[in-house]
Amino acid sequence: MSEPRRGATGTRPVRRALLSVWDKEGLVELARQLDEFGVRLVSTGSTAHVLRDAGLPVTEVAAVTGSPEMLDGRVKTLHPAIHAGILADATNPTHVRELEKQGIEPFELVVVNLYPFEDTVASGAGRDDAVEQIDIGGPTLLRAAAKNFRSVAVVARPHRYADLVAALRETGGTSLELRATLAEEAFAHVAAYDAAIAGWFAEWAGPEELPPSLSLGFARVRELRYGENPHQRAGLYRAVLSPGPLGGARVVQGKEMSFNNWLDAEAARTVAGSLEAPAAVIVKHHNPCGAAVAGSLAEAYRAALASDPVSAFGGVVAFNGEVDGAAARAMAEVFTEVVVAPGFSEEALAAFASRKNLRLVEAPAPAKAPLEVRPIDGGALVQEADAVTEDRGEMKVASRREPDPGEWEDLLFAWRVAARVKSNAIVLAAGGATVGVGAGQMSRVDAVDIASRKAGERAQGSAMASDAFFPFRDAVDLAARAGVRSVIQPGGSMRDDEAVASADEHGMAMVLTGRRHFRH
């Protein structure tokens, strides 16, 4: 093995390495390179077996510890002969003398990856099988080596093997900078692994209260070109114990999705997934600008587009069913960034094929998330995920006039859409489609004004949903002047009676749901 290059910052040679991996990808190639560099290999049972079959010299851990593997492999490396060799600080004379006194050799390299706990859970395996895939020795080895990064290099993922070999070839050892990078990756890897286990136990136990501590684990799927703006770095991450972003979405056509594309696709898919009839939702800047239900996806798309055809330009469209050829052809004349749906027929794929800048994303129907986490400076806000669970039977008609059947349908439709519009939110709907949306306004009456102006003449006879109560009657009066005939809102204002009185004066029907759906 070559000596460390002069001047290499904190470079340490590698004379002895511990290899214990579940994922054998690249293992033999790495071990062969290490052997050529003169590195002595120590390994656990299955890893040692693979290396020995490849004709490589290897010492089993049991020969180092003097103890056989125990408890069906649960205890292998948990021994001072292993961990003292990993944790000894090579720059500390006391540590060095103690190792010599105990007859323990140090390690300069630890290569470990962990039992496939997530894959086991994802396979649908039973609880006992999942428990057996909770690695104990592996995380302990990684943490020990990462803690002692000044003396030991730790590799937790096969994709780092090439970097390790390159460093050994170039300098004859590992630099302090490389060891620190690898240590950070090891700690992050163990943290995500533990987060998956904690999350699995949380789902099993099903606590009714928010957890006293929350462990979140995310693995980077890919880097993105940039974030919300070109000067911001960004990446797409998969949450542990999940199939991936948007339920394991797959881009089946088009160029790479941007940060904003993913955000808007999530918003559109969530609204579409909350509607039962064939539905189309058009989102711009994370707010629905058009949504509709109809007898077919093509009809639903046309109705959603009519809600705000100007804002729909460059938007993201979601459907709640497999996109067929008719729906694809209905979109032919409008520039669209992304279409997200549970599937696409062959006819639809053929119709979209010529639109090279259009991204098609295949994603299953959204599943209910148990918690929402929003980072803030120095912490996070955590809440139960919001969902529209109230139905007509739980609602109260507060006005003298009852909504007729058609009005009820539009009220309930508008209510579901309003729950996904940024507050203050007002949605006007008619015939199963939005006709005007007022989103993200500081004043509720301004939101009504915007939605009414967007709707124009289509506001006549429409239903209006407000995501929260009316603090004054002015918004109801304004809606009446625009032609709104029915209103759905949570109620709960000190001036509810004034809002109801306004509805009665204008011959409107007003329904109180008893629950608001703010979305900040």
338: left (phi over 0), alpha (psi -120 to 50) or beta: beta
Q: Tokens 């053929």 belong to which residue?
A: 350
Annotation says 285 is catalytic = yes
What is the amino acid identity at position 279? A
Beta bridge partners of 12: 174
- The candidate with the shortest Cα–Cα distance to 27, out of 147, 134, 150, 164, is 164
Query: Is beta strand 16-20 parallel, antiparallel or unpaired with respect to 109-112?
Result: parallel
Q: Residue 8: its pLDDT value, please?
A: 42
Angle between helices 474-482 and 496-505 (to 10 degrees): 20
| Per-residue three-class SS string for 201-265 | HHHHHCCCCCCCCCCCCEEEEEEECCCCCCCCCEEEEEECCCCCHHHHCEEEECCCCCHHHHHHH
- C-alpha to C-alpha distance for 32 and 43, rounded to whole angstroms: 14
- C-alpha to C-alpha distance for 164 and 179, rounded to whole angstroms: 10
Beta bridge partners of 40: 16
Annotation says 147 is catalytic = yes
Q: Residue 444: its pLDDT value, please?
A: 94
Angle between helices 137-147 and 176-205 (to 10 degrees): 150
Name, in order, each residue with C-beta under 8 angstroms of 460's C-beta and a sequence gap of 6 or more.
483
Query: Would the pTM count as exceeding 0.85?
Result: no
Token readout for 101 is 């006194």
What is residue 460's three-state secondary structure? coil
Catalytic residue among 284, 285, 286, 517: 285
CB atoms within 10 A of CB 59: 14
- C-alpha to C-alpha distance for 54 and 28, rounded to whole angstroms: 7
Angle between helices 93-102 and 80-87 (to 10 degrees): 160
Q: Residue 75: its pLDDT value, please?
A: 72
Name, in order, each residue with C-beta under 8 angstroms of 513's C-beta and a sequence gap of 6 or more.
390, 394, 395, 415, 488, 489, 490, 491
CA 25 to chain centroid, in Å, comes to 27
Low-confidence spans in the chain with pLDDT less than 50: 1-8
- C-alpha to C-alpha distance for 456 and 478, rounded to whole angstroms: 13
Token readout for 222 is 């890919």
- The candidate with the shortest Cα–Cα distance to 509, out of 497, 518, 500, is 500
Whether cis (ω within 30° of 0) applies to the bond prior to 424 is: yes
| Rounded-to-5 percentages of helix, strand, coil across the chain | 40, 20, 40
Beta bridge partners of 465: 427, 488
Q: Tokens 């979601």 belong to which residue?
A: 318
Dihedral over Cα of 407, 311, 368, 515: its sign = negative
Give the Å distances, CA to CA, from 60 to 44, 82, 88, 105, 362: 6, 11, 21, 14, 47
Catalytic residue among 79, 147, 189, 422: 147
